[in-house]
């Protein structure tokens, strides 16, 4: 093994040369791989020699570069499974705005390796108002079907799974491996691992280039002949194992849970209700509850030990799941839920005198509208891309919001937890829009505003901030 990690620039150069199927000059290769316009061949050759790191798979002779395919290291039929397996390395960087606040991702990068060759890579910074949708899709593509090695700060793995909207399958935590084998503190950077290992690396400002450090660190931390299972065992959290034999479900049942908002309920062996919870991603939440070997608080461990079976109820919205959870806790009185009732704060109830809340909805819908009047949820209406649902909203507005005649609230209206809704709005102000429909002059104006959002297809401007159309 060399003391320099394989460069992703070299991997890009190899893929380009193999696709070109012909020798390429330094000027052309620098333009295609480094995006540099260098007219002098000797200068371009010197720049490439430094950037490519002397990779033995690249050869320069007679004024051009070509990729050399390595000789097979094994006899026919003798395949090294570890060398042939595909592994995706993920670099996670983030920060906490406050000591107990959730981790906020600032950068994510990934590289997929087949054997010893990098076959794909991506990465980028995550701005506060930019969800990085394209980067997320590319990371998911690189993760599909591969073993996963993650280097993340404390809390970074959970933040990554929340960003991806799905749990990772048995990721190997490189930070924990470095902590146990090198004695590094829990909060360290991947450059610290490389420095302790004595690897000659250059830390780049671009996350897509910083990711190239991970495979080299992983190789250096692995003992000669150590298998993936042995590495995973050395990284296993030192917590109690789950009593899988006592459960009426297994890991496959957890993996089959839909990755949608909803509520879940835990029952003991006698059928008694233990706990009611909610999540914006049921699959990720249940996987977190039953992750083997993870240290837990005494209360959580008690619930995990007492569970026999679970039920999940998908909801169309995180807010709907939140309200369902509160209603079930109040009505069913689960044995292990701590908070039985939410008490509204001062003056907050007046905020729900009249409100129309709009949030994104799952396909085939585009938006979901919540109509709240006098502290009661009058109706919840999903809106289709062609305006489906607007007529129903118009009838609700005419009856409950713009009809001056006194009378009872519609029979289908149900009380909402004022404090829950206002807290949820405060936490999700970057992804929802809420306004008082009676501030407009008529039902027609409110419907016109909703139609404007449907035509736009988004509730936010280019920087991710909620927007409202002008009257």
Distance of alpha carbon 179 from alpha carbon 120, whole angstroms: 28
pLDDT band at 20 (very low <50, low <70, confident <90, very high): confident
What pLDDT, in 10s, does the model give residues 191-225?
888 889 888 666 666 777 778 888 889 999 998 88
Contact 133, 126 (CB under 8 A): no
In a domain, 153, yes or no: yes
- For the chain, percent of residues with pLDDT exceeding 70: 81
pLDDT band at 239 (very low <50, low <70, confident <90, very high): low
- Among the three residues 203, 234, 265, which one is the final residue of a domain in this structure? 234
In a domain, 446, yes or no: yes
In this structure, the answer to whether residues 254 and 373 fall within a common structural domain is: no
| φ, ψ at 117 (rounded to 5°) | -110, 130
Distance of alpha carbon 189 from alpha carbon 203, whole angstroms: 11
| φ, ψ at 131 (rounded to 5°) | -70, -10
191 to 170, 217, 268, 398, 403: CA distances (angstroms): 24, 9, 47, 62, 66
In this structure, the answer to whether residues 263 and 224 fall within a common structural domain is: no
DSSP per position, 98-135: STTSPPEEEEEEEEEEETTEEEEEEEEE--TT---HHH
Q: How crowded is residue 7: how many other Cβ atoms within 10 Å of its Cβ?
A: 21
Low-confidence winner among 134-138, 360-364, 461-465 (lowest mean pLDDT): 461-465
In this structure, the answer to whether residues 48 and 123 fall within a common structural domain is: no
Q: Quick one: pLDDT at residue 470?
A: 43
Long-range contacts of 32-38 (CB under 8 A, 24+ apart): 33/9, 34/9
In a domain, 436, yes or no: yes
What pLDDT, in 10s, does the model give residues 376-388?
888 889 899 889 9
Domain that holds residue 34: 8-67
pLDDT band at 404 (very low <50, low <70, confident <90, very high): low
Contact 19, 29 (CB under 8 A): no
In this structure, the answer to whether residues 147 and 199 fall within a common structural domain is: yes
Q: Quick one: pLDDT at residue 406?
A: 60
- Among the three residues 332, 358, 388, which one is the final residue of a domain in this structure? 332
In this structure, the answer to whether residues 208 and 259 fall within a common structural domain is: no
Decide which of 359 and 81 is more confident.
359
- Among the three residues 332, 361, 380, which one is the final residue of a domain in this structure? 332
Angle at CA of residue 181, ends 177 and 187, nearest 5°: 60
Looking only at the bridges linking them, the beta strands covering 273-279 and 262-267 are: antiparallel
**Which of 428, 432, 376, 419 has its CA nearest to residue 399?**
376
In a domain, 448, yes or no: yes
In this structure, the answer to whether residues 371 and 445 fall within a common structural domain is: yes
In this structure, the answer to whether residues 221 and 121 fall within a common structural domain is: yes
In a domain, 201, yes or no: yes
Asked if residue 2 has pLDDT above 70, the reply is no
Number of structural domains, the chain?
4
In a domain, 340, yes or no: no
In a domain, 465, yes or no: no
In this structure, the answer to whether residues 13 and 129 fall within a common structural domain is: no
- Can you give the CATH number for the domain in which 191 is found? 3.30.420.10
**Two structure tokens written together for 42:** 């000797």
Q: Quick one: pLDDT at residue 30?
A: 84
Distance of alpha carbon 383 from alpha carbon 366, whole angstroms: 6
- Can you give the CATH number for the domain in which 300 is found? 3.40.1440.10
In this structure, the answer to whether residues 365 and 408 fall within a common structural domain is: yes
In this structure, the answer to whether residues 224 and 250 fall within a common structural domain is: no
Distance of alpha carbon 108 from alpha carbon 122, whole angstroms: 9
250 prior amide bond cis, ω within 30: no
Decide which of 90 and 24 is more confident.
90
In this structure, the answer to whether residues 274 and 418 fall within a common structural domain is: no
Asked if residue 349 has pLDDT above 70, the reply is no
3-state secondary structure of 26: helix
Q: How crowded is residue 117: how many other Cβ atoms within 10 Å of its Cβ?
A: 13
Q: Quick one: pLDDT at residue 200?
A: 67
Asked if residue 462 has pLDDT above 70, the reply is no
In a domain, 463, yes or no: no
User: In the chain, helix, strand, coil percent, each to 5?
Assistant: 40, 20, 40
Mean pLDDT value across the chain? 80
Kindly state the average pLDDT of the residues 345-361. 69
Distance of alpha carbon 346 from alpha carbon 408, whole angstroms: 26
In this structure, the answer to whether residues 143 and 41 fall within a common structural domain is: no
Distance of alpha carbon 374 from alpha carbon 354, whole angstroms: 6
Beta strands across the sheet bearing 367-373: 414-415, 376-383, 367-373, 354-360, 433-435
């Amino acid at each position: 093994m060399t003391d320099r990690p394989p460069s992703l620039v070299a991997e890009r150069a190899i893929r380009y040369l193999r696709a070109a199927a012909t020798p390429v000059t330094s000027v052309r290769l620098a333009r295609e791989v480094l995006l540099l316009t260098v007219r002098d061949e000797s200068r371009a050759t010197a720049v490439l020699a430094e950037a490519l790191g002397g990779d033995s798979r690249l050869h320069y002779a007679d004024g051009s570069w070509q990729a050399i395919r390595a000789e097979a290291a094994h006899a026919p039929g003798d395949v090294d499974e570890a060398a042939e397996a595909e592994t995706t390395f993920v670099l996670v960087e983030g920060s906490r705005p406050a000591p107990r606040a959730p981790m906020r991702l600032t950068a994510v990068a990934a590289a997929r390796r087949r054997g010893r060759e990098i076959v794909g890579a991506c990465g980028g910074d995550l701005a506060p108002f930019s969800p990085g949708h394209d980067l997320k899709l590319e990371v998911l593509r690189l993760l599909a079907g591969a073993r996963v090695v993650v280097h993340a700060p404390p809390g970074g793995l959970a933040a990554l799974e929340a960003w991806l909207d799905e749990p990772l399958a048995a990721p190997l935590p490189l930070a924990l491996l470095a902590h146990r084998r090198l004695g590094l503190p829990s909060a360290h950077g991947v450059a610290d691992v490389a420095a302790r290992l004595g690897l000659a690396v250059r830390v780049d400002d671009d996350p897509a280039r910083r990711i190239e450090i991970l495979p080299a660190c992983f190789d250096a931390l692995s003992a000669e002949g150590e298998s993936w299972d042995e590495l995973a065992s050395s990284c296993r959290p030192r917590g109690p194992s789950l009593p899988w034999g006592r459960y009426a479900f297994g890991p496959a049942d957890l993996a089959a849970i839909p990755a949608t908002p909803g509520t879940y309920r835990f029952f003991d062996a006698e059928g008694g209700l233990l706990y009611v919870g909610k999540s914006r991603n049921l699959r990720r939440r249940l996987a977190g509850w039953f992750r083997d070997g993870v240290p837990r608080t005494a209360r959580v461990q008690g619930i995990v030990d007492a569970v026999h079976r679970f039920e999940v109820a998908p909801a169309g919205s995180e807010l709907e799941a939140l309200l369902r959870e509160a209603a079930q806790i109040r009505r069913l009185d689960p044995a292990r839920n701590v908070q039985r009732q939410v008490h509204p704060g001062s003056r907050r109830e007046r905020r729900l005198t009249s409100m129309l809340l709009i949030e994104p909805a799952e396909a085939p819908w585009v938006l979901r509208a919540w109509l709240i009047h006098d502290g009661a949820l009058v109706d919840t209406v999903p809106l289709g891309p062609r305006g489906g649902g607007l007529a129903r909203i118009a009838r609700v507005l005419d009856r409950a919001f713009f009809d001056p005649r006194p009378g009872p609230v519609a029979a289908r209206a149900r009380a909402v937890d004022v404090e829950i809704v206002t807290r949820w709005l405060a936490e999700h102000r970057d992804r929802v829009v809420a306004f008082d429909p009676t501030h407009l002059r008529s039902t027609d104006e409110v419907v016109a505003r909703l139609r404007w959002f449907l035509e736009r297809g988004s509730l936010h401007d280019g920087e991710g901030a909620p927007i409202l159309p002008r009257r």
